[in-house]
Structure 1
Amino acid sequence: MKMKIQLSLVAILLATAVLAQPKNTSHASQTWLAYFNQTRLSNKWGLWGDFQIRTREELVSDFSTGIARVGLTYFIDDNVRLTLGYGFINNYPPNDNVKVSQPEHRPWQQVQWFTKNKRTRLMQYIRLEQRYRRRYLNNTELADSYAFNFRLRYNFFYQIPLHPQGLIPKKLSAIVNDELHINFGKQIVNNYFDQNRLFLGLNYAFDNNNNLQFGYLNTFIQTAAGNQYRNINALRVAYVHNLDLRRGK
């Protein structure tokens, strides 16, 4: 029964992601590189870290975004955890006319939970972010003030092994991942929907702690104007590193 509910959820989100796009949509091709780490220090406490870099267009042309995110995690149990963190985001100049990067400070809070069956694995989280983005004074200078809004993110990550049942080592699995972003706050007028990210790829497990994920990412964004959209087709490559430093683990 649980499996049917999970697969239904995947089907609904995938159908939503492939709806016809508005005519006023710009397109870009990017590469997203990332390192993700979750380290468990004790039965109750752990650390979160992820570091990302993204290109702007044509897969390898310039940079668009750099992210450094850290957090402190509290384990309710082995399958449910809470994280409180901070992220620094550097938004590189979006075009050749803008000469200065836009920094963003982003505190965040998250609840993450796992559902494991005999073969499949489902990870979900809900994350609340507070986004403080430095305003532009002009194309070469930043203002002293910040734009602010809240953003809510729901993420599901579904992993399906591709090896026959019982085969060891379990190296390769398929991934279906979708993340929906919703804006809210006083400064949000036209784009309560922020973006949706759909990822289809593969996971290669070197061992229980080290994984390489790679595949196709589609990101569909509604801009602050409300009637302008951006569709990004990206190659995403991520190294996922999990550590358990508890004695005897």
Structure 2
Amino acid sequence: MKSNLFKLLFIVFPFVLLAQTVKEKDVNHQLQTWVSLNGVTKFSAHWAIVADVHLRANDFFQDNNFFLLRGGISYIPNATFSFTGGYAHLWLAPKNTEWNTFADENRVYQQVQMNSKSGKVNIVNRIRNEQRWQEIIINDQGSGKNKFSNRVRYLISTTIPIFKKKTAPLLVVSDELLIQFGKDIVYNTFDQNRFFVGIKQAINPKLSFDFGYMNVYQQKSNGYQYDMDHTLRLFFYLNSSVAHTKL
């Protein structure tokens, strides 16, 4: 098990380091807090409704960064794979401290996820494709125009037991690489990289959370400026089901 884990980390970490060094010129470091609730509700043997709500803020909730609502339908043929499609809406706070207008972003997304196990380590591989329409704000006013991009996201997440007691916290290590394409994407095909390390803890059979540090490294549209977000992340996960009758 340990050898497989070391191989996995050996493969993932070089991509993290590469994403954080290539073309690094002007980096803005900032502190953020990110909280969310993520729900999956099964309404039949193979179908579920998924929904999540997110809040990300700067400097421990002193300034808003974004709000996000996302929903979708998931087809789950077995315990290994799931296929999901849906819609999300994001409200992005202005970077200019003198502005007040939030930019709307509409997303349509498609996703495939594979769950596997190597020894006692649970591994999640997820690919998500997003079509994004981002509102362009000019002089603190909506312009009525949008910037379109197609963004591809690849996540690998490992959950590792570190204690013998089953109810004890688990170690979580994950990395997600996001790249984007479109006529308006000129200098930042690499959008961002998100590396997370923390713990996962079950509250009850249906509700759990993970808590830890996330490093978000994002390239700006001009190509030479970057945000390095040192993020305190707290995500809750709710899994439930509604009664259904076999036909």
Give me the TM-score of the superposition, normalised by structure 1: 0.91
SS in structure 2 opposite 1:188? coil
Q: Which amino acid aligns with 1:122?
A: I
Q: State the partner residue of 1:193.
A: 190
Whole-angstrom CA distance in 2 between matches of 1:238 and 1:186: 34
Whole-angstrom CA distance in 2 between matches of 1:184 and 1:5: 33
Shift of 1:247: 5.8
Query: Is the alpha carbon distance of 1:143 and 1:83 closer, same or farther for their aligned partners in structure 2, counting shifts above 3 Å?
Result: same
Q: How many residues align?
A: 242
Is the 1:59–1:234 Cα contact (8 Å) retained in structure 2? Answer: no
Shift of 1:202: 0.4
SS in structure 2 opposite 1:14? helix
The C-alpha deviation readout for 1:63-105, integer Å capped at 9, x for no partner, is: 0010100010011212101001100000012231222110100
Range with greater deviation from structure 2 (102-111 or 8-17): 8-17
Whole-angstrom CA distance in 1 between matches of 2:13 and 2:52: 26
Whole-angstrom CA distance in 2 between matches of 1:191 and 1:23: 13
Is the 1:49–1:70 Cα contact (8 Å) retained in structure 2? Answer: yes
Whole-angstrom CA distance in 1 between matches of 2:125 and 2:15: 18
Shift of 1:7: 3.9
Q: State the partner residue of 1:81.
A: 82
Shift of 1:18: 3.5
Identity of aligned residues (%): 30
Whole-angstrom CA distance in 2 between matches of 1:145 and 1:55: 26
- What RMSD over aligned residues (CA atoms) do the two structures have, in Å? 1.9
Whole-angstrom CA distance in 1 between matches of 2:25 and 2:105: 30
Structure 1 residue 232 and structure 2 residue 204: aligned?
A: no
Whole-angstrom CA distance in 1 between matches of 2:141 and 2:190: 29
Runs of at least 5 residues in structure 2 that lack an aligned partner in the other structure: none
Q: State the partner residue of 1:244.
A: 241
| Runs of 4+ in structure 1 over 3 Å off | 3-7, 18-21, 244-248
Q: Which amino acid aligns with 2:155?
A: N
Whole-angstrom CA distance in 1 between matches of 2:189 and 2:171: 32
Shift of 1:146: 0.8
Give me the TM-score of the superposition, normalised by structure 2: 0.91
Is the 1:171–1:206 Cα contact (8 Å) retained in structure 2? Answer: no
